[in-house]
Amino acid sequence: MTNLPTAPHVPSSAPGRPVALVTGASSGIGLAIAEQLIADGFLVFAGARRLDRMAGLAARGARLLPLDVTDDASMVAAIAAVSAEAGRLDALVNNAGYGSYGSIEEVPIAEGRRQIEVNVIALARLTQLALPMMRAQRRGRIVNISSMGGRISEPFGAWYHATKFAVEGLSDCLRMEVKQFGIDVIVIQPGAIRTEWSGIAQASLLEVSGSGPYAGLAAPHARFLAVGDSGSASPPEVVARTVSRALKARRPRTRYPTGANARTLMTLRRLLPDRWFDRLMLALSRRMGRSA
């Protein structure tokens, strides 16, 4: 496959300027990706529910899209806006998602469904909407932000990990289907990253399982999740640079582990038997929970 168009800093009407749509662009990893792609010379369409949080992106030339990935009409409108202004889409970065934690027994089933809706169904639907444009131009790259959690597991993260395992499988199937149209599918697997994610996961874990039968394990694991707020976690710019590298590569890899602990933990998961890895994760949870 030929490389994406070069990305000089030229007006958006210039035919060679590549176009990217980034979801969940109002904070954290999505914001960092949008900023990086603007710097790389992309015309960036930044999608999120909170437009006020993307004022800085607008000032740098991004096009802001009011995008709610749980609303089909909102996703249809976002792709239509990209098509109307740019006429093409070179890169779709499916970043929107969240992690809500708690024991399987105690998490309300409605919350499990919502997490699947946001992290998996919305990603698939936006991909469906973007593919006709990419097929017509016979090129494009779909970047799905997964997680090391799409390869490993931990207590209390069942719904989150289930969605990321699903993103990994969906991406593998999609990659084979769209290869014939010159479209690449790339999975990014962040490790521990300093974003709002860890705070949301901690809060939900304590709310759901902080008392009751699972409290003895939930409390230290909530502190374990705080690694995402610590100096040992990587900044979101690490993920953004990885996305940039994948989009610039002539032949991108199918997967890019990136950030703190990603390669180490995924390698251990591949090498260790299931019960050994279970013991490792439980030991890490308890030990790091005590020291946090």
Catalytic (active-site) positions: 160
- At 154, which amino acid appears? E
Burial class (CB in 10 A: 0-12, 13-18, 19+), 217: middle
User: 18, 44 in Cβ contact below 8 A?
Assistant: no
What is the distance between the terminal CA atoms of the chain, rounded to a whole angstrom?
47
Element (H, E) at 177: helix 158-178
CA distance 209 to 136: 49
Neighbours of 125 (CB within 10 A): 16
Q: Is 57 left (phi over 0), alpha (psi -120 to 50) or beta?
A: alpha
CA distance 148 to 153: 9
Whether the CA torsion 168, 265, 207, 54 is positive or negative: it is: negative
CA distance 11 to 53: 24
Nearest Cα to 241, choosing from 7, 37, 28? 37
- At 261, which amino acid appears? N
DSSP 181: G
CA separation (Å) from 259 to 24, 69, 170, 193, 228?
19, 26, 23, 7, 11
Beta bridge partners, 192, equal 260
Query: Residues 133, 134, 138, CA angle at the centre, nearest 5°?
Result: 125
